[in-house]
Amino acid sequence: MIDIKLIRECPELVKDNIKKKFQDKKLELVDKVIELDTKWRKEKKKVDDLRSKRNKISEQINKLMKEKKKDEGEDLIVQAKEIPIKIDKIEVVASKLAEEIKEIMMKIPQMIHESVPIGKGEEENIELEKIGEPVVPDFEIFNHAELAEKLNGLDLDSARKTSGQGFYFLRGDIARLHSAILTYAKEFMIEKGFEFCVPPYMIRSDVVSGVMSFEEMDAMMYKIEGEDLFMIGTSEHPMIGSFKNKTLIKKEMPQTLTSYSACFRKEKGAHGIEEKGLYRVHQFEKQEMIVVCEPTDSYEWYEKMLNWTVEFFRDLNIPVRKLECCSGDLADLKAKSCDVEAWSPRQKKYFEVGSCTNMEEAQARRLRIKINGGKGNYLAHTLNNTVVASPRGLVAFMENNQNEDGSINIPKKLQPYMGKKKVIKAN
């Protein structure tokens, strides 16, 4: 959510940002906010004037009482009693206007960073860099689901019976590999100086609306029937939500946290042979990193966080690339974002395994996360980035560490979490 002062003072700048995101249908929202804000300020002025009038009347009454002119003060006492009633009625109107303004403001997208490329959608995202050689072996790469089944590590049929499409059982060494990847991700971030956390897997609606747009919420979140609770789609949401209504001291900045969680999303079922298995699932596990920091430091943190995800995947022998998200591919609260994509030797293309995002002050404004800088309070900046989400990360690992006989090599970084095993083979 942007600052309403920006709409008051620079409405055309806000409209230009909306156009850059190709959301022209929202242009009218800016004019609507200006109209409602004008009405709200008029109502607020009425209240301020009435309070000023009441104070003056009270002074007059006190003066008359001191002068023992009680009869002369009777009319003023009647007026003084009527003013709070008038104020209450006006404040009801003002409160309704304020709620309507807030509801519309929540739909106006965050101002994008000046470096963001302009484009309509993901097809216009820009490749920044490839890291690692995207090799295609001279032998056939098994589909990850077929390979995991051959290694007795994946059971989709049982999952469909217990839970439906989009769920899975991992077993044996594949389940162990999945866990090893996540454990290494945790240790990797702790070594970078981040504090490890395990958050709640459910959050309230006021936190949901504080961390994401309504469109994202409808597309992603599972609602708990009969309760004000949603299943989390990423641990970023409860982690950022934990700072709600907090004013942090400048010397405490930055706050750097890495969190593990299960995640739940309304992903559609698999589409096509290349997405058979574990590409799109309703439940997965994830190691996340989040930073709450000084506004002046947020883009330095953005670059660090992005490069750490690249480093992590290269530790697992997975070639990756950085893909800059264009304006039309940014969700409403995002100021700048870059996807990390892993190489798929089977598909001979890259696929998304993580995303690094600077929200700037958007989440902080909604959740009232502030910093006390010694000379007043100001909004913090919040950032989030995927270290690894599995089974997506597991898929990338299996494809890039697969041998011709269908065995899977385990790199040195993961061997301590696999009982020093170097290769996974069929029994």
What would the DSSP string read from start to end of 188-226? Answer: HHHHTTPEEE---SEE-HHHHHHHS-HHHHHHHPEE-TT
- Residue 421 is predicted with a pLDDT of 92
Q: At 312, which amino acid appears?
A: F
Among 76, 105, 134, which residue terminates a domain? 105
- The per-residue pLDDT for 269 is 44
Residue 396 included in any domain: yes
Residue 169 and residue 127 in one domain: yes
Which residue range is the domain that position 251 belongs to? 122-424
Q: Are 251 and 371 contained in the same domain?
A: yes
Please state, in angstroms and rounded to a whole number, the distance separating the CA atoms of residues 254 and 257.
10
Is the residue at 251 inside a domain? yes
Per-residue tokens: 250 = 């400048």
Place of tokens 């993961």: 414
Measured at the CA of 132, the angle between CA 177 and CA 306, to 5 degrees, comes to 75
Are 96 and 17 found together in one domain?
yes
State the pLDDT confidence band at 273, using cuts at 50, 70 and 90.
Answer: very low
| Domain contains 110 | no
| Mean pLDDT value across the chain | 92
Number of domains in the chain: 2
- How many helices (H) and strands (E) are present in the chain, helices listed first? 13, 18
Helix (H, G, I), strand (E, B) or coil at 337: strand
| Residues 306, 356 contacting (CB under 8 angstroms) | yes
Q: Which tens digit of pLDDT belongs to each residue from 144-183?
A: 998 999 999 999 999 999 998 889 999 999 999 999 999 9
- On whether both 160 and 306 belong to a single domain, the answer is yes
For the whole model, what pTM was predicted? 0.89
pLDDT tens-digit series, residues 106-124: 999 999 999 999 999 999 9
Evaluate whether 114 touches 299 at the Cβ level (below 8 Å).
Answer: no
CA distance 23 to 116: 16
In a domain, 112, yes or no: no
113 domain residue, yes or no = no
288 Rama class: left (phi>0) / alpha (psi -120 to 50) / beta: beta
Pairing of strands 247-249, 370-372: parallel
The reply to whether 149 and 286 lie within a common domain is: yes
**CATH for 292:** 3.30.930.10
Asked whether residue 38 is assigned to any structural domain, the reply reads: yes
Query: 381 and 270, same structural domain?
Result: yes
Task: Assess if residue 265 is contained within a domain.
Answer: yes
In a domain, 77, yes or no: yes
Task: Identify whether residues 381 and 241 lie together within a single domain.
Answer: yes
CATH number at residue 42: 1.10.287.40
- Alpha helix positions (H), 268-318: 298-315
